[in-house]
Every structure is written in C-alpha cells, then in structure tokens.
A and B are shown apart, each in its own frame.
Chain A
C-alpha cells in the first residue's frame, strides 16, 4: 500500500512535468523561451516516471533491475547537449526574440582567425604561390 502511494505520486508528478514542458513548448512566444520547457521540465518528468518503473519492477515482479536508470542517465546527459546545439542553430539562422532583435555574428560557421593571437606571423594568407 505504501509503495503504491509512492508509485502513484511519482507517475502523476512525472506526467504533470512532461505536460507542463509541452505546454511551454506550445504556448511561449519566442523560440529561445520555448527551448526551456522541453529540455528541463520534460526531462525531469521522464526521470520521475522511470524511477516509478524501477520501483514497480522491484516490488511487483520481484526482479530488481536498474535498466530504466540507464535511460534516465542517458537522457540527463543528452538533453543539455541537444539544447545547446539547437540554441546554436537558432542563433546561426538569425531567429528573432520577442523584442524583434537578432543577435548577429554570434555564431559563424567558419570563424576567421584572430590576428592578435598570433603575433609571430606576418600575414594570414594561405596562398603558397606568393
């Protein structure tokens, strides 16, 4: 009975967090705000539901496995990486925020070398003919 209460609590809170994350993705006004909902709230929600699955397998089926924790750890590692890459892609494409401002030249696909960091070199020309 006590385990059932914990399981129900974990499942409902996890699903509520996933729902709130998706609500943020659907309703917030600009892309940089929308990125917050799925990457934080939804990840916490699924972590909670996977914890419930571990407890259920340990109590109801008498088989204690940590398989589900594998998914949890994987998601907790990969969610910030994909969020970082998505924000970088959005900056590179020049997407406006709510004020209509575009952050220009923050991300360049092929950055120019900075001459001040290499004082020994005379010039940066790659042409070997000259």
Chain B
C-alpha cells in the first residue's frame, strides 16, 4: 500500500515538474520564469524526500535542505535584480 502511494506521489510530482518546465520555457515575462524556477526547486525537494522514503535512506535530507536554502536565496537575488538593477548595493 505504501509502495503504491509512493508510485502515485512520484507520478504527480513528475507531472508537476514537467508543467513548471513548460511555464519556464513559455513564460511571457521574466517574473513568470522566476516563479516557475522557484516552484521547480520546491518540487525537487518533494522528489528527493520521496526518494529518501523509497530507498529508506537519510542521505537525501542534506541535499533537500541545501536546495531549499539556495532556492530561496536565488529567488530573492533575482527579484532584487529586477527591482533595483543591482543585487548587493
């Protein structure tokens, strides 16, 4: 039962990642692409957590935490660049 649930969750998260990819390629404006990239980071964390449960290993946790922190910093830096034309003033 848990196995089936993990397979369903893998399928849904992969479909979500493909839709984010489509939005990032298509996105009419730059901010759409930034939102799509931010969502891709979050969905990648979901995929890593699922892999951790599926393979019963705690190795994926550090990668997930790093992606969470770097994703936030990247989004803030890109928004700051759009707002001020500069990242560190």
Contacts and interface: CB of A to CB of B under 8 A. Distances in A.
Interface residues of A, number: 54
Interface of A: 4-5, 7-9, 11-12, 14-16, 18-19, 21-23, 25-26, 31, 34-35, 38, 42-43, 45-46, 49-50, 52-53, 56-57, 60-61, 63, 65, 67-68, 70-71, 74-75, 78, 81-82, 85-86, 88-90, 92-93, 95, 107, 109
Interface residues of B, number: 50
Consensus secondary structure, chain B interface: helix
Contacts of B20: 22, 25-26
Given A46-B46, A49-B50, A63-B58, 15 more contacts: A7-B5, A11-B6, A15-B13, A18-B12, A18-B42, A22-B15, A35-B35, A49-B49, A52-B53, A56-B53, A65-B58, A71-B64, A74-B68, A82-B76, A89-B79
A49 B65 contact: no
Q: Which 4 A-B pairs have the closest CB atoms?
A: A8-B5, A22-B16, A15-B9, A85-B79
A11 to B, nearest CB: 5
Consensus secondary structure, chain A interface: helix
Contacts of A18: 12-13, 16, 42-43, 46
